[in-house]
Amino acid sequence: MPIVASIPDRLKFLLLDNRSARCYFLQRDTYKNLCLEAAFGIWLWPDYTRPAVKRFGYVFDPIFLLSCALYALNRWLIKPHTHIAFFHNWFNDILLIPCALPPLLLAHRWLKLRNHDRPPTAGEVVSHVIGWSILFEVIGPKIMPTTGDPWDAVAYACGGAAAYLGWQLCYSAADDHRANFDPLAPHYGWMEDLLAGQKLRRCRAAFLQSIPPPRHALIVGQGHGGFVAELLKAHPNARCTCVDSSLRMLEAARARLRQGGVEESRANFIHADALEWTPPTGEYDLIVTHFFLDCFRPDQLERLLPKLSAAAAPKACWLLSDFREPEEGLARWRARAVMEIMYVFFRWATTLPASQLTPPDALLANCGFTLGQRQTFDWGMLHSDLWLRQAPA
Ligand SMILES: C[S@@+](CC[C@H](N)C(=O)[O-])C[C@H]1O[C@@H](n2cnc3c(N)ncnc32)[C@H](O)[C@@H]1O
């Protein structure tokens, strides 16, 4: 039956709450749900072999995850309890592109039909809207007990357009802005205690006792200052310079020193963007970047690390704690999921420029540092490193 001819019948169904309407919706929903869920199924084998470049999240994309949650909510909670036509008829149609496109693009990537990891392009969204519309509204009605409806295609297009805009916003090329941790500063301590317990503290302190006593330490992105106080207590002859772009973090760190009974004059606090700030050359025999380098994009790290390493004295140590992706298995899945959630949160809460972790190892090696020791924690998702600069012979 031509699509247009079926419209009056459908409108009748929408207006009437009767058995045939329920039956119609049931058949149609089963048929569409099957197709959609088959598409979701593809996400069970995500690709971990891709290099760590700025990329689309595919099945970890927040718009995909939110749309799947809304789909499930509608399917199992809303639809069974309402006869409102919008929820039976168009709500899931609007979610078609944001739910189906990311796993399909991932499949395209594996099959080498897609040669990049950028967010869905306009061409991909439009071609999928057209493809799904033809499949569901033209071919489907000829082989399945359902009717085509041009309004469904309109719903796919609206959902596709909204998702496309969302993806553009989420993945738009970040400018050189810095993160703003001021709003998080009062909550950072309790959030860390609640979500990570003592794990991050253990990472930061892993090599505190085993490094040679520092004379002058540089702590970049020191945050609320727990480590500054520990360092100055563990090494009574050390002084340190702390650089942070968040005024409230600097205030919190100062307050911690006072509370911990550490002489405040031993620490010099500098309010600056580390990307802009120029440190004195060769001044520091200890550099500390705990849970800081993960704030930056690869191009920013390429500028930041040479600058910080130029500030290091000839035999300096570099303490670095951060997140990492374990090599394989469940631990890798877990770490990846945790990091995706963390980056979505921190990008939202602090306008973090990075959208994923960039391991700094190669850059540190290029700057003349060698990895002395590494400890891993929490199923390999956290690491604490001691990097050493060898004095030129
Ligand atoms: C995730 S927190 C980590 C804080 C602390 N090092 C820790 O171990 O918990 C990142 C810190 O880096 C600071 N930060 C982020 N971007 C910065 C930048 N461009 N320049 C200086 N500090 C920055 C933030 O203000 C925040 O205090």
Answer yes or no: is the C-beta of 178 below 6 A from any ligand 1 atom: yes
Answer yes or no: is the C-beta of 352 below 6 A from any ligand 1 atom: no
> Do 297 and 174 meet the contact criterion of CB atoms below 8 Å apart?
yes
* pLDDT, position 169: 77
What is d(CA 150, CA 253) in angstroms, rounded to the nearest whole number? 61
The torsion of the CA quartet 134, 112, 172, 331, rounded to 10 degrees, works out to 110
Q: 169 Cβ partners below 8 Å, 6+ apart?
A: none
What residue's CA is closest to ligand 1, atom 13? 221
Answer yes or no: is the C-beta of 223 below 6 A from any ligand 1 atom: yes
Mind listing the pLDDT tens digit of every residue in the chain (393 residues)?
Answer: 344 344 444 444 444 444 554 555 455 555 555 455 445 443 333 333 333 335 788 888 888 998 999 999 998 989 888 888 888 888 999 999 999 999 999 999 888 899 888 889 989 999 999 999 998 888 988 888 878 888 889 999 999 999 998 888 777 655 556 799 999 999 999 999 999 999 999 999 999 999 999 999 999 999 999 999 999 999 999 999 999 999 999 999 999 999 999 999 999 999 999 999 999 999 999 999 999 999 999 999 999 999 999 999 999 999 999 999 999 899 999 998 899 889 888 988 898 989 889 999 999 999 999 999 999 999 999 999 999 997 554
What is d(CA 53, CA 267) in angstroms, rounded to the nearest whole number? 37
At position 72, the amino acid (one-letter code) is A
Answer yes or no: is the C-beta of 274 below 6 A from any ligand 1 atom: yes
* pLDDT, position 27: 54
CA of 274 relative to ligand 1 center, distance in Å: 9
Structure token digits, residue 219? 């702590």
Task: Report the DSSP beta bridge partners of residue 241.
Answer: 218, 268
What residue's CA is closest to ligand 1, atom 14? 221
Answer yes or no: is the C-beta of 28 below 6 A from any ligand 1 atom: no
* Ligand 1 atom closest to 275 (CA): 19
* pLDDT, position 28: 53
What is d(CA 104, CA 128) in angstroms, rounded to the nearest whole number? 10
Domain ranges of the chain: 4-170, 182-389
Ligand 1 pocket test target in 175, 181, 301, 303 with most atoms within 8 Å of CB? 181
Q: Which of 21, 152, 167, 7 is nearest to 83 (CA)?
A: 21
Pick the CATH number of 182-389 from 3.30.1490.20, 3.40.630.30, 3.40.50.150, 3.40.50.300: 3.40.50.150
